[in-house]
């Protein structure tokens, strides 16, 4: 497997890198990202075989088709971590909502969110490489709420690894924050920052590309990598569960081989959606990928108008905080795949310098051949939460935005909704929706209220958070991030 750079090559970095090199050093020329040069094709024979495979077997099959340059036994160990999910035989179950909509439940891992689907195996692979090379790595993560807990869990007390996780103070749910600030690994550092997720992500990208910071790390014999979806090691695992969802529809008889479906994805940073696009490119029969957003609807604007404009935009805090994002990193990989490196660099530089770019009519038409988009406000999401819960199924606020696609003019095809988090991470919003009241209760009260009202269990890992000691109380300004990280590395 060879990866190339989304903004072209600067003459200093290699033109092609292996998978292992890309996950160890995810920063590419001109501030770009790495993306596959070629993709394996999934033909009819693949799907005939796929219905006989477990999730773990399917994952190994697809990694082999990509030609990932790691030993099979290491890949098997990484994929074996799905055995720690709620149902080891089916880590991403598909639930039927009605005759049209099915829910891909991607939150059955240790931190109760879809990021575990990628970060559990990814963390094992990166840790293996660091240990095998006898190298020390600093792993940076910026989070809007779910990447952080999943990163801290997968790397906790791993040898040769230290982790710094940045989260926006006040920009996550209380449960998400507690999952981070109570993390006990000795190699972990969690920092709240003054600002929003875009500020946290901007700080991460700045550090990844900072010659000064990298030199300071080199003086300590430490190399730098990232756990965000800027790292392709995350994305490759996010392709697989989209394929698995389709295979489950085949196995259940809800669709026939070759029949097209819709994939609906609540999206903020676009990694989940990019995985769906790559699966479509590989041959998954997807009519279109439907992107839903909250009122921070920058992706809806891009897909419907071809304009990405953050000049006059304010980032709003919503009841779906993991999507409170205006600068979606993985859109870059999509632009690269559609329009090539020169145009991608031009667009990304325009976004950085002018805070805006505009696709040509021809480019917009190509984009819209793969995607459609819509968005909703908190009121719609809360009413949807209540409506679906009263019918016997419990969603979280992010997944609730998916049902806004009922207002689109769609073909009568089956539709898989990607459920990105368990309700327990956003219990106050769900409890408020059930009570039809604007009042917000503390997380612990809301968890118990929802559990009693809907007769659903609270996982022990969530309940235990409220008694766990706070290990990482620190909140810093953006200017203090680099110095605080260096101080941590001296401890």
Beta strands in 276-422 (DSSP E): 286-293, 307-309, 356-358, 371-375, 415-419
Task: State residue 491's pLDDT score.
Answer: 84
pLDDT tens for the chain, 491 residues: list them. 999 999 999 999 999 999 999 999 999 999 999 999 999 999 999 999 999 999 999 999 999 999 999 999 999 999 999 999 999 999 999 999 999 999 999 999 999 999 999 999 999 999 999 999 999 999 999 998 899 999 999 999 999 999 999 999 999 999 999 999 999 999 999 999 999 999 999 999 999 999 999 999 999 999 999 998 899 999 999 999 999 999 999 999 999 999 999 999 999 899 999 999 999 999 999 999 999 999 999 999 999 999 999 999 999 999 999 999 999 999 999 999 999 999 999 999 999 999 999 999 999 999 999 999 999 999 999 999 999 999 999 999 999 999 999 999 999 999 999 999 999 999 999 999 999 999 889 999 999 999 999 999 999 999 999 999 999 999 999 999 999 999 999 98
Task: State residue 440's pLDDT score.
Answer: 87
Which run of H or of E encompasses 191?
Answer: strand 188-193
What are the angstrom distances between the C-alpha of 14 and each of 6, 8, 28, 29, 126? Answer: 13, 11, 9, 9, 20
Looking at CATH, the fold of the domain delimited by 85-112+233-467 is given as Rossmann fold (3.40.50)
Contacts of 414 (CB under 8 A, 6+ apart): 100, 102, 249, 254, 255, 259, 261, 262
Task: State residue 453's pLDDT score.
Answer: 97
CA atoms within 13 A on the CB side of 25: 15
Query: pTM higher than 0.85, yes or no?
Result: yes
d(CA 320, CA 356): 25
d(CA 152, CA 179): 9
d(CA 145, CA 480): 21
Q: Are 458 and 175 in contact (CB under 8 A)?
A: no
- Strands 101-105, 94-96: parallel, antiparallel or unpaired by DSSP? antiparallel
Alpha-carbon 141 to chain mean position: 12
CA atoms within 13 A on the CB side of 147: 31
What are the angstrom distances between the C-alpha of 97 and each of 101, 102, 275, 391, 462? Answer: 5, 5, 23, 9, 25
Task: State residue 363's pLDDT score.
Answer: 98
Q: Are 85 and 108 in contact (CB under 8 A)?
A: yes
Contacts of 353 (CB under 8 A, 6+ apart): none
């Amino acid at each position: 497997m060879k990866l190339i750079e989304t903004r072209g090559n600067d003459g200093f970095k290699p033109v092609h890198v292996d998978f292992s090199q890309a996950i160890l050093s995810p920063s590419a020329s001109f501030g770009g990202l790495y993306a596959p040069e070629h993709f394996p094709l999934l033909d009819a024979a693949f799907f005939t075989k796929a219905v006989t495979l477990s999730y773990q077997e399917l994952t190994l099959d697809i990694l082999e088709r990509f030609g990932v340059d790691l030993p099979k036994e290491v890949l098997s160990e990484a994929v074996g971590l799905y055995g720690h999910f709620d149902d080891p035989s089916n880590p991403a179950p598909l639930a039927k909502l009605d005759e049209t909509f099915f829910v891909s439940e991607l939150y059955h891992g240790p931190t109760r969110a879809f990021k575990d689907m990628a970060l559990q195996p990814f963390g094992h692979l990166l840790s293996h490489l660091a240990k095998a090379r006898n190298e020390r790595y600093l792993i940076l993560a910026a989070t809007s709420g779910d990447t952080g807990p999943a990163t801290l869990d997968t790397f906790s007390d791993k040898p040769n690894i230290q982790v710094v996780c940045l989260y926006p103070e006040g920009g996550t749910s209380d449960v998400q924050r507690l999952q981070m600030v109570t993390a006990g690994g000795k190699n972990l550092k969690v920092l709240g920052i003054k600002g929003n997720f875009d500020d946290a992500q901007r700080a991460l990208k700045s550090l990844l590309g900072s010659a000064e910071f990298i030199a300071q790390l080199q003086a300590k014999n430490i190399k730098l990598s990232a756990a965000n979806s800027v790292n392709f090691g995350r994305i490759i695992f996010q392709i697989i569960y989209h394929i698995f969802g389709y295979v489950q529809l085949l196995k259940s008889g809800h669709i026939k081989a070759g029949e097209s479906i819709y994939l609906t994805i609540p999206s903020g940073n676009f990694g989940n959606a990019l995985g769906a696009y790559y699966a479509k490119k590989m041959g998954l029969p997807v009519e279109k990928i439907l992107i839903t957003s909250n009122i921070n609807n920058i992706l809806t604007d891009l897909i419907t108008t071809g304009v990405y404009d953050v000049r006059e935009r304010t980032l709003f805090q919503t009841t779906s905080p993991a999507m409170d994002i205006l600068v979606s990193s993985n859109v870059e990989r999509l632009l690269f795949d559609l329009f090539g490196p020169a145009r991608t660099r031009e667009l990304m530089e325009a976004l950085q310098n002018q805070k805006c770019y505009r696709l040509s009519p021809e480019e917009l038409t190509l984009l819209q051949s793969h995607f459609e988009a819509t968005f909703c406000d908190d009121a719609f999401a809360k009413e949807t939460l209540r409506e679906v819960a009263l019918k016997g199924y419990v969603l979280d606020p992010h997944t609730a935005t998916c049902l806004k696609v009922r207002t689109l003019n769609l073909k009568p095809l089956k539709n898989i909704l990607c459920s990105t988090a368990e309700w327990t991470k956003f219990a106050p919003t769900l409890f408020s929706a059930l009570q039809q009241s604007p009042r917000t209760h503390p997380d612990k009260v809301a968890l118990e209220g929802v559990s009693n009202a809907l007769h659903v269990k609270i996982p022990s890992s969530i309940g235990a958070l409220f008694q766990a000691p706070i290990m990482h109380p620190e909140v810093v300004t953006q200017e203090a991030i680099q110095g605080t990280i260096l101080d941590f590395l001296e401890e």
